[in-house]
Each structure stands twice: as C-alpha cells, then as structure tokens.
Amino acid sequence: MSFPKRTDFQTDSAFVEALLSEIETLGRDWHYDEAVTQLEHAVQAAMLARDAGEPDHVVAAAALHDVGHFLMYGKARHDPPDGDDLKHEVVGA
C-alpha cells in the first residue's frame, strides 16, 4: 500500500481528501487496542475539537493526529507490536 504524498497532488485540499479517503478505508474495521475503530477515533477527536470551537486547521489536525498508525498500517496490522511501541507519533510527524 502506498499512502498519499503531498507532492502527488496539485492542491492541499486534494491531498487532504486523499488522506481522509485512506483513513476511512483502512480505519473502518481496524481496532488498535481500543473499543472504537481508528476511523471512529479520528472522527471523535475532530468532533471534540469542533465542539470546543477550534478553527478548521485544529479540527483537521485532530482528525489526523494518529496518521502514523496508517503510515505503518502493514506493520501494525499484520505484525502486531506485542507491547513494542511502533512510535506512530514520530512516523506521522
């Protein structure tokens, strides 16, 4: 799987739409040590930011805060970490 890269798109909005599409596709059934799916978690975070009156860029950042999980999708999904931290926060930064 190849995750979208900003350089593949002419506009920021097209890039963000591609990212969100991948998160929707991959995150729909993926539970990563939580009761909710990755997609539900991303939506919950974005809704909390929106409900707190945060500007759009903060709402988007909240939705994408775990993007590192998706960048490491194959590793995390097919080779569970068994307690090892895959450092998704570093990968996604």
Alpha helices in 28-91 (DSSP H): 38-51, 56-63, 67-71, 73-78, 88-91
Of 58, 63, 67, the closest CA to residue 92 belongs to: 67
Of 37, 13, 26, the closest CA to residue 70 belongs to: 26
pLDDT tens digits for 30-52?
Answer: 666 668 888 888 899 999 999 99
**Is 65 contained in some domain?**
yes
Residue 33 structural domain:
8-91
CB 29 within 8 A of CB 38: no
**Is 1 contained in some domain?**
no
pLDDT tens digits for 50-88?
Answer: 999 999 999 988 988 877 766 665 555 555 444 455 555
Give the chain's domain count.
Answer: 1
**Is 3 contained in some domain?**
no
pTM attached to this predicted model:
0.63
* Residue 41: burial class (beta carbons within 10 Å; 0-12, 13-18, 19+): buried
**Is 75 contained in some domain?**
yes
**Is 2 contained in some domain?**
no
